[in-house]
Every structure is written in structure tokens, then in C-alpha cells.
Amino acid sequence: MESHKHNSDECCCKSNTSSVQQSLPEMDFERGIWYAAQTGDYERLEKLLRKGVSPDIEDSAGYTALHYAARNGHAIVCRELLNRGANVNAQTRSGRATALHRAASQNLPDIIKLLLSFKADPNLVDADGNTALHRAVITNASCACEELLKSCNSGIVNKNNKTVYEIVKAKGQEDLIKLFQKTGMQ
């Protein structure tokens, strides 16, 4: 009987498989509509929608394709999802974030305009009581703030009992202080 050697140079049991593996949820995400939306793959998104995939299907964390497309600034994908009936005000399960919250956090005024044109509610609050405007202020997203100030109720207080202007003042965000004063939203 031949002996079995375990010297790393001579072992007959070497595996050619990679040690990098994906979980089933990761594979589902990449095959699903969410990855197409996240990466702006319009052709793949169209194919999935034609096959009957709902534009509102949630991933394991409760995000929809619109959440991913909005956060990553993919206007064409957002518009297609909205034209196909995606819920513009869909909120994630735990954080209660909307696509508008995500666009605001990333300072994407064109996406914000698009979502608002499809009747996104700028006064919806997330799990922390923050509106999209709160999120824009927290991330110092001045272009997003300028767009949201046109339609948001700036007097809404979050769970820390703070309005957006109180946050701006506390953070000393001079450019935003001037913007709020210019628009009369103090």
C-alpha cells in the first residue's frame, strides 16, 4: 500500500478550488434586481422586469432596487423602476429609510428631484426620526439640502428632539446656515 504524504509540495489531495466563497444570499443578491440597480446595469434590470420580477421586491435587509439605484445615483434605473410602479416611499424594515433618504445622504440633487417628481414624501422619517433633509444636513450635503428645502417641513424634530436647523447650528456648518437663512428656514 502506497503511503499518503502530507508535505505541502507532494500532497495528492490538493484542491484547485478557491477559498473565496459566496453565501446563498450573496449569490441571490448578485443575480437579483438589486445588484442591477446598484451597479446601474439597465439592460439586466430591463430583462429582470420583463421576466416579471417586481420592482418592489425586497432583499434580505428590506431594501428595494430603488433604494440601491437612488443611493448610487443611477437616474435612468430609478426612472425605469418608478415608471414600472416601484413604491417611491418604500421604507426598509429596520432603518425605515426611503430612496429619498439614501439620495439625500449621498448629496444627489438630480435623484432627489426625480423622486420628488414621482411624489416621494420628503417628510417621512426613518427609525431615528430623521427626514431626508435631516440626513442631508447630517452628511453636510449642501446641494441635497438646497433641493429638499423647497419641499420639506424643516420644523420636524428627530428622536434627539432636533430640527434640521438646530443640527446645522450645532455642527457649525456655515454654508448651510447661510442657505437656511437665505430661504427663511431657521
pLDDT at position 78:
98
pLDDT at position 11:
46
Instruction: Please enumerate in sequence order all residues whose Cβ is within 8 A of that of 127, keeping only pairs 6 or more positions apart, or say none.
Output: 94, 95, 96, 97
pLDDT at position 31:
72
User: Does residue 46 register a pLDDT over 50?
Assistant: yes
Q: Which cell numbers hold the place of 75? A: 437616474
Instruction: Please enumerate in sequence order all residues whose Cβ is within 8 A of that of 137, keeping only pairs 6 or more positions apart, or say none.
Output: 145, 164, 167, 168, 171, 173, 176
What percent of the chain has a predicted confidence (pLDDT) above 90? 77
pLDDT at position 87:
98
Domain with residues 25-87, CATH architecture: Alpha Horseshoe (1.25)
pLDDT at position 124:
98
Residue 165 CB coordination number (10 Å): 18
Rounded distance between C-alpha atoms, residue 2 and residue 145, angstroms = 74
User: Does residue 186 register a pLDDT over 70?
Assistant: no
pLDDT at position 44:
95
**pLDDT single digits (tens) 1-32:** 444 454 545 544 444 555 566 565 555 556 78
Residue with the bigger pLDDT between 182 and 123: it is: 123
Helices (H) and strands (E) in the chain, counts: 11, 0
Q: Report, in angstroms and rounded to the nearest whole number, the Rg of the chain calculated over CA atoms.
A: 22
User: Does residue 91 register a pLDDT over 60?
Assistant: yes
Q: Map grid coordinates 440597480 to a residue.
A: 37
Residue with the bigger pLDDT between 184 and 77: it is: 77
- What's the gap between Cα 75 and its chain centre? 13
Please calculate the CA angle 59-28-62 and round it to the nearest 5 degrees. 5
Q: SS3 of 150, please?
A: coil
Q: What sign does the CA torsion over 42, 48, 51, 57 have?
A: negative
> How far, in Å, are 74, 152, 179, 180 from residue 175 at the CA level?
27, 19, 6, 9
What are the residue ranges spanned by the domains of the chain? 25-87, 97-186
- For residue 19, what is the enclosing H or E element? none
- What's the gap between Cα 45 and its chain centre? 17
CATH for the stretch 97-186 = 1.25.40.20
pLDDT at position 29:
56
**pLDDT single digits (tens) 135-180:** 999 999 999 999 999 999 999 999 999 999 999 999 999 999 999 8
User: Does residue 182 register a pLDDT over 70?
Assistant: yes
What percent of the chain has a predicted confidence (pLDDT) above 70? 83
Q: Do the domains spanning 25-87 and 97-186 agree at the CATH topology level?
A: yes
pLDDT at position 8:
47
Q: For residue 184, with 0-12 CB atoms within 10 Å meaning exposed, 13-18 middle and 19 or more buried, which class applies?
A: exposed
